[in-house]
Amino acid sequence: MKKYDIVIIGGGPAGLAAAVAAYDAGQKNILILERDNLLGGILNQCIHNGFGLHTFHEELTGPEYAERFIEQVKERGIEYKLNTMVLSIGKDKTVTALNKTDGLFQLEAAAIILTMGCRERSRGALNIPGFRPAGIYSAGTAQRLVNIEGYMPGKRVVILGSGDIGLIMARRMTLEGAKVLVVAELLPFSGGLKRNIVQCLNDFDIPLKLSHTVVDIEGKERVSGVTIAAVDEHNKPIPGTEEHYDCDTLLLSCGLIPENELTRGMGAEISRVTSGPVVNESLETSVPGVFAAGNVLHVHDLVDYVSEEAAAAGRAAAAYVAAGCTDGERSDLPIAFEGGPRYTVPCTVDPKRVEGNLTIRYRVGAVMKNRVVRVFLDDEAVLTRKRRIMAPGEMEQVVLTRAVLDAHPDMRKITIKVGEA
Amino acid sequence: MYDIVIIGAGVTGCSVARYLSRYDARVCVIERAEDVCCGTSKANSAIVHAGFDAAHGSLMAEMNLKGNLMFPALARELDFAFIQNGSLVVCMHEEDLPKLHELYENGVANGVQELEIVDARRLHELEPRVSKNAVAALWAPTAGIVCPFNLTIALAENAYTNGVEFRFNTEFTGISRNKDGWAVQTNRGILDTRYVVNAAGLYSDVIHNMVSAEKIHITPRRGDYCLLDKTTGDFVRHTIFQLPGKYGKGVLVSPTVHGNTIVGPTAIDIEDREGVNTTAEGLNELIEKAGDTVDGLPIRQVITSFAGLRAHEDHHEFRIGELKDAPQFIDCAGIESPGLTSSPAIGLTVADLLRDKLELKPNPGYNGTRKGVLDPKKLSPEAYNELIRKEPAYGRVICRCETVTEGEIIDAIRRPLGAKSLDGVKRRTRAGMGRCQAGFCSPRVMEILARELGVDQSEITKCGGASKLIVGLAKDQISGGAQ
């Protein structure tokens, strides 16, 4: 069985950044396994711009952003296998995979970085009633058909869900000559970035109907119409508010689900909030030597943060290998939160092991205005930040500096409290 | 000139065709859809019933038991997924116990073997997740679960390779007498035949009533279902029914042969014979009732919901046989549950009847076995690698959720009566049946279908007809478009 120091599952933005960082941290025996026929992951179909403002201080398209990292991987001569599907990962970090040239094969990994990304919530999972004709697509599938394959999945479009891919596709379909009639969003707020609502809906006069959902899909062979209705505070449709749209397509952008089947298979603990693995400050899962980053860990808003997080996972994996594949003595302090956050990444911290500053990322569950975020080490507030607005669609973060952590060697607990200003 | 024209390529029509293919006869199956298994046969509970339910003395009871007994051997001959997992009819209230005993007695009278009434303790040993409030159950170890798609496809493929002709996209439009038998009119011309078998499911009354003075009536009875993620596949081992009682009729909770959990059906009589739309009321009813017989069902793990229509005949009885006032016309009408279970018995019965009527000789080239789409996951690692060396397409995973390779999809397209659409591929290989519901694999499957069928990708449909997946080209694909 072939041995690698670090095997990275997935060659999207997270996997690429993790590979580069692990290599630069001194571990050269790395393998990336990618199921698609090229590196870069979902960025390859994200041909709009707006990527890389934080990382490169310029606006890149998705493929351009990916290319920067692919080049770095190639410059370093990091090994990768395309068209390769990982079927399972054992607790002992044996990776079983499948492709055309190697067949069904196994690898031994000293450390593993999970960067499999996420999938879109399907019509079935949403339990939308109606017929099941052609013309119902997740926004990402439609994006692939238009941007990669060059085909139009429809001409008159209703979009359910205001996630970023749905918003981007509203504009994309419009630019390709389709008529986007409406974007309906179940929640009273959008799950997408503010800038996407402005640039993709407002600029094209596409109405966004908040607190609305699809209550019926018509069409026995191809979609012929969709009915939407307003919902009450329990998200139940309100009779009498139905509006019918003649259309041939329904796009769904109703949330992303981290793809953690492999993670579950190896017995790692999974967060019920994020559907991603529970990780410590090193982005290490409950299985020692197995790290996670990017959308497989928690769904991100900007790819820049994916790259940043994945690089940290890459360095942590390299350090684990360098230390002789052991975590040694750990002290896991909990990160608690109240008043707004739904989760934090990481979930626990060993302050000794924080490399440089500690970045804690989280999302809130509802739109919150004029708040103050305070971070407590035990009972002492060490950081206070005013936030004019926080929304579920945007990822939040707090950064604790090394100096602050060092000044509190005996702390037992970190708490993030969000309160009224 | 055919000896026999079978109307409808559902499980009944395909079963009749398969058993008829044992004889030397010119047989044609006509089907309005682009594939077999496109109506009631594809959307049901996928249960092989033990046979205690149908009224003693009815044809339904007879066919149910006969069919149930045929399944184990048939599954081996035709290589489709079938598991004899046993069923439990759960009684939730002491006052309903007499009904449970009635059911038991009826089953024994019908000839069902190994039936047993189990008390609450034994019930919870058998199936720990059955509701703590359950008082007893009727245990039927001979009940099973089956893949309804592959059952139907297997019957059809086997019939086809033994010489039965299939005409798809061929819709029955009318029927008249001719000198030898019948002239069956279709949208694609007239087929002359000596005998007609009416296996038209929801339309079997319409066709019957064209030739007979003794009218029958079919009501489309809609049933909504939810299918849960494979992570729930071991939630229950048996098929769990609820004993109908004064609190109404419950819904079943059952594992599927592929490791999902199915919950359903509702029962709503409707007018539209094409009305396979789910409704919010129906789905809500399922969510409410699903927890009645089992504790802790993760109903939120639903990956898809669908509705099927049972062809409910007014007398709730199968109508199988030659019509008295329309000789050479054979009904297979009113085939609702336990129709799937009964299908092999119905096929055999009708084939035997036609053998006698037409004095058919054995088909000398008949081969009663068929191999399904090769599932490389079932091979040893060595054998799998040997396969990939010969056929590298088995090394390329197309559907990640169900781990379906390009090799399996190509097999599904190239085999006899192969897949022509996304749904055709899905029902033969499970590509697209997993938790992402074809989000990732549909563009790839479209590509493979286009290549294998030699058509442009824009011609590929979800399920034939007007179910096109693509309506045009993006601008940069249009010559002279944006540069």
Instruction: List chain B domain ranges.
Output: 87-141+219-313, 376-476
**Strand ranges for A21-129 from DSSP E:** 30-33, 49-51, 60-61, 79-81, 85-89, 94-99, 103-114, 118-120
Alpha-carbon gap, residue B261 to B265, rounded angstroms = 13
**CA A386, A391, A394, A397 torsion-angle sign:** positive
Same fold: B87-141+219-313 with B376-476: no
DSSP for B349-383, written as a single string: HHHHHHHHHHTPPB-TT----------GGGS-HHH
**Helix, strand, coil abundance in chain B, percent, nearest 5:** 35, 25, 40
Q: Which residues of A touch B400 (CB under 8 A)?
A: 35, 85
In this prediction, residue B83 has a pLDDT band, given cuts at 50, 70 and 90, of very high
Among residues A200, A237, A187, A211, the alpha carbon closest in space to that of A391 is found at: A187
- The whole-angstrom distance between A407's CA and the closest CA on chain B is 46
Chain center to CA of B427: 10
B93 catalytic per annotation: no
Alpha-carbon gap, residue B433 to B427, rounded angstroms = 8
| Cα dihedral A257, A261, A263, A269 in deg (nearest 10) | 70
Alpha-carbon gap, residue B80 to B59, rounded angstroms = 26
**Strand ranges for B162-217 from DSSP E:** 165-167, 172-177, 182-186, 189-198
Query: Per-residue pLDDT averaged across B200-216, rounded?
Result: 98
Q: Which residues of B touch A124 (CB under 8 A)?
A: 227, 302-305, 437
* B385 closest CB neighbour out of A103, A147, A218: A103
Among residues B85, B115, B463, B130, the alpha carbon closest in space to that of B296 is found at: B130
Q: Which residues of B touch A104 (CB under 8 A)?
A: 381, 384-385, 388, 395
Which 8-state DSSP code applies to residue A121? P
Alpha-carbon gap, residue B68 to B346, rounded angstroms = 12
Alpha-carbon gap, residue A192 to A190, rounded angstroms = 5
pLDDT at B275 over 60: yes
Alpha-carbon gap, residue A416 to A248, rounded angstroms = 47
Q: Which CATH class is domain B87-141+219-313?
A: alpha beta
pLDDT of residue B336: 96
- The whole-angstrom distance between B303's CA and the closest CA on chain A is 5
CB–CB contact B440 A151 (8 Å): no
Query: Per-residue pLDDT averaged across B456-479, rounded?
Result: 90
pLDDT of residue B437: 94
Judge: domain A1-119+256-324, CATH 3.30.70.890.
no
- The whole-angstrom distance between B441's CA and the closest CA on chain A is 9
Q: Which helix (H) or strand (E) holds B443?
A: helix B442-453
Per the listing, tokens 């079963």 go with B15
Q: Which residues of B touch A177 (CB under 8 A)?
A: 475
Among residues A136, A135, A133, the alpha carbon closest in space to that of A123 is found at: A136
pLDDT digits (tens, 9 = 90+) for A147-167: 999 999 999 999 999 999 999
Three-class SS state of A299? coil
Alpha-carbon gap, residue B401 to B398, rounded angstroms = 9
Alpha-carbon gap, residue A220 to B275, rounded angstroms = 9
Determine which of B437, B451, B463 to mutate to test the interface with A (most A C-beta atoms within 10 Å): B437
Those residues whose C-beta lies under 8 Å from the C-beta of residue B10, and which sit 6 or more positions away, are B36, B37, B38, B39, B40, B41, B152, B199, B201
Using DSSP bridges, classify how beta strands A30-33 and A2-9 pair: parallel, antiparallel or unpaired: parallel
**What topology does CATH give the domain A122-254?**
FAD/NAD(P)-binding domain (3.50.50)
pLDDT digits (tens, 9 = 90+) for B8-56: 999 999 999 999 999 999 999 999 999 999 999 999 999 999 999 999 9
Q: Is the peptide bond before B265 cis (omega within 30 degrees of 0)?
A: yes
Three-class SS state of B304? strand
Sequence-ordered alpha helix ranges (H) in B195-310: 204-211, 280-289
Q: Is the peptide bond before B338 cis (omega within 30 degrees of 0)?
A: yes
* Cβ atoms of residues B200 and B206 within 8 Å: yes
pLDDT digits (tens, 9 = 90+) for B366-420: 999 999 999 999 999 999 999 999 999 999 999 999 999 999 999 999 999 999 9
pLDDT of residue A8: 98
pLDDT at B483 over 60: no
* B472 closest CB neighbour out of A131, A141, A152: A152
pLDDT digits (tens, 9 = 90+) for A327-349: 888 889 999 999 999 999 999 99
For chain A, give every residue range classified as CATH 3.50.50.60.
Answer: 1-119+256-324, 122-254
- Cβ density class B122-143: b for 16+ within 10 Å, e for less: ebbebbebbbeebbbbbbbbbb
Backbone angles phi, psi at B138, to 5 degrees: -95, 120
pLDDT of residue A204: 98
ipTM of the complex: 0.94
Q: Which residues of B touch A99 (CB under 8 A)?
A: 395-396
The angle formed by the CA atoms of residues A223, A226 and A229, to the nearest 5 degrees, is 165
CA distances, B25 to each of B5, B19, B455 (Å): 11, 11, 35
Which residue is catalytic, options B49, B208, B238, B312? B49
Closest CA in chain A for residue B385: A103
Those residues of chain A that have pLDDT short of 70 are none
Closest CA in chain A for residue B389: A103
Q: Which helix (H) or strand (E) holds A245?
A: strand A243-246
pLDDT at B482 over 50: no
Q: Which residues of A touch B439 (CB under 8 A)?
A: 119-120, 122, 138, 140-141
Alpha-carbon gap, residue B300 to A285, rounded angstroms = 26
* A127 closest CB neighbour out of B302, B468, B474: B302
B177 strand-pairing partners:
B182
In this prediction, residue B247 has a pLDDT band, given cuts at 50, 70 and 90, of low
Which 8-state DSSP code applies to residue B132? T
Among residues A100, A80, A76, A93, the alpha carbon closest in space to that of A27 is found at: A76
Cβ neighbourhood burial of A338 (10 Å; 0-12, 13-18, 19+): exposed
* B437 closest CB neighbour out of A124, A149, A151: A124
Mean pLDDT, rounded, of chain B = 96
Minimum mean pLDDT range among A70-79, A158-167, B184-193, B238-247: B238-247
* Cβ atoms of residues A111 and A290 within 8 Å: yes
**What topology does CATH give the domain B376-476?**
Arc Repressor Mutant, subunit A (1.10.10)
* Cβ atoms of residues A162 and A197 within 8 Å: yes
* A141 closest CB neighbour out of B442, B468, B476: B442
Amino acid at B239: T
Among residues B29, B1, B25, B34, the alpha carbon closest in space to that of B16 is found at: B29
Closest CA in chain B for residue A82: B396
Alpha-carbon gap, residue A137 to B468, rounded angstroms = 13
In this prediction, residue B208 has a pLDDT band, given cuts at 50, 70 and 90, of very high
Those residues whose C-beta lies under 8 Å from the C-beta of residue A232, and which sit 6 or more positions away, are A238
Determine which of B278, B283, B301, B457 to mutate to test the interface with A (most A C-beta atoms within 10 Å): B278
Alpha-carbon gap, residue A392 to A188, rounded angstroms = 11
Chain center to CA of B23: 25
Query: Per-residue pLDDT averaged across B272-276, rounded?
Result: 95
Cβ neighbourhood burial of A199 (10 Å; 0-12, 13-18, 19+): middle
Per the listing, tokens 């007018």 go with B271
Q: B16 is written with which tokens? A: 């009749």
Amino acid at B124: H
Sequence-ordered alpha helix ranges (H) in A153-266: 164-175, 194-196, 261-265
CA distances, A62 to each of A49, A303, A371, B33, B223 (Å): 7, 9, 33, 42, 45
